[in-house]
Amino acid sequence: MGTSLWIVDSSVDDLWGNPQIKDAAHQIRKGEVVAFPTETVYGLGANALDSTAVKKIFEAKGRPSDNPLIVHIAEKDQLRELVDEVTPVGEKLMNAFWPGPLSLIFKKKEGVFSELVTAGLDTVAIRVPEHPVAIALLKEADVPVAAPSANRSGRPSPTTAKHVLDDLHGRIKGVVDGGETGYGLESTVVDCTGDIPIILRPGSITAEDIRELIGEVLVDPALKDEKEAPKSPGMKYRHYAPEHPLFLVEGPIQLLQEFVDRFNQEGKRVGVLSTQENHQNITADATIVIGSEEELSSVAHSLYDTLRKSDQLNVDILLSQTFPEKGVGQAIMNRLRKAAGNQVLTEENLKK
């Protein structure tokens, strides 16, 4: 399949009528899949009401069929036709954070969505994105669009059109290139079907943000405890994995240096992922900077690009520093742990 590239200047606020976006939206209406930028990561979109179209998302990504998709809509008014119930908590969250990087789980209206979208669950995840390209595309397509991240399953999510093409060239109808995405991590997923919101996947809208608004927030225990079954099916899969084995080092940056030295002694070449501040204090075979300690959102922004770039390093293993699990640090550590397949090194391991 030929994959089209539609280049759009996303600094334009209102892209209504843009010919590239019209083309892409036409393909979605025809039942094809196209990738597009959102404020979180690039999504791979198809008409959420059309099973034949949605099936193409799973095929292009190689995504397991028990992992449901997030439905994107242009305006919150569309919700009434799609869900059975909006709880008071859901209403508050939507009003505060939409458009934006928050996906909410609602009881779905039966018979509306393709069953593939919801993987047979009686709930559906929905969000209104904040990106001008995504909004214009959704308005033009005029259907709810199911869109997971536009990467091959298991790979880091794409934050540029190039990342999408690296993974999916020839497998999808096209990509709208609207430049680099903003937040860089996928949306926060929150179950708002009860009285207290439950975070199923951390993101740039943080537990602190939600607690401030609602007063109370729970976190799916599976996010902390590997033995628990996650409430969000996708959270059980290995994700974001770089090509080289990745280990997280829990402790001060000196400890990370000690691990570099230890692996070097064993004859292994080591690549290090660390912030701008720590970068200068590390000597390794290769180093990559992931944002700044001062501004954790800069770490979120560059995390996936860093993981993809690490594939090009001539090393045997990768070591990454860790981050405080506060604010967006929670989402960063969630993605890093998955990328590392939960391989964490502490001072204890050094003694062995």
Which residues contact ligand AMP by CB under 6 A?
67-70, 105, 118, 121, 123-125, 148-149, 186, 189, 200-201, 232-235
Q: How far is Cα 173 from Cα 1, in angstroms, rounded to an integer? A: 7
Structure tokens at 39: 């404020």
Among the listed residues 28, 21, 79, 14, the one whose alpha carbon sits nearest the alpha carbon of residue 57: 28
Of 85 and 243, the one with the shorter C-beta distance to Mg ion is 243
Of 158 and 271, the one with the shorter C-beta distance to ligand AMP is 158
Q: Which does 197 bind (CB under 5 to 8 A by kind): ligand AMP, Mg ion, none?
A: none
Q: How far is CA 179 from the centre of its chain?
A: 17
Q: How far is the CB of 67 from Mg ion (least distance, A)?
A: 8
CA trace torsion 112, 117, 118, 120 (10° rounding): 90
Q: Let me know the angle formed at the C-alpha of 142 by 136 and 146, rounded to the nearest 5 degrees.
A: 85
Of 249 and 332, the one with the shorter C-beta distance to ligand AMP is 332
Of 57 and 136, the one with the shorter C-beta distance to ligand AMP is 57
Query: Using the rule CB under 5 A, which residue among 20, 40, 118, 149 binds Mg ion?
Result: 149
Q: Which does 330 bind (CB under 5 to 8 A by kind): Mg ion, ligand AMP, none?
A: none
Piece in contact with Mg ion (CB under 5 A), picked from 16-24, 148-156, 262-270, 327-335:
148-156
Burial of 223 (0-12, 13-18, 19+ CB in 10 A): buried
Amino acid at 72: H
Of 149 and 287, the one with the shorter C-beta distance to Mg ion is 149
CA trace torsion 94, 96, 102, 108 (10° rounding): -10
Q: Which does 4 bind (CB under 5 to 8 A by kind): Mg ion, ligand AMP, none?
A: none
Whether residue 46 contacts residue 32, with contact meaning beta carbons closer than 8 Å, is answered with: yes
Piece in contact with Mg ion (CB under 5 A), picked from 29-37, 149-157, 171-179, 310-318:
149-157
Structure tokens at 256: 């990370």
Q: How far is the CB of 301 from Mg ion (least distance, A)?
A: 17
Whose structure tokens read 């997280």? 248
Q: Which residues bind Mg ion (CB under 5 A)?
A: 149
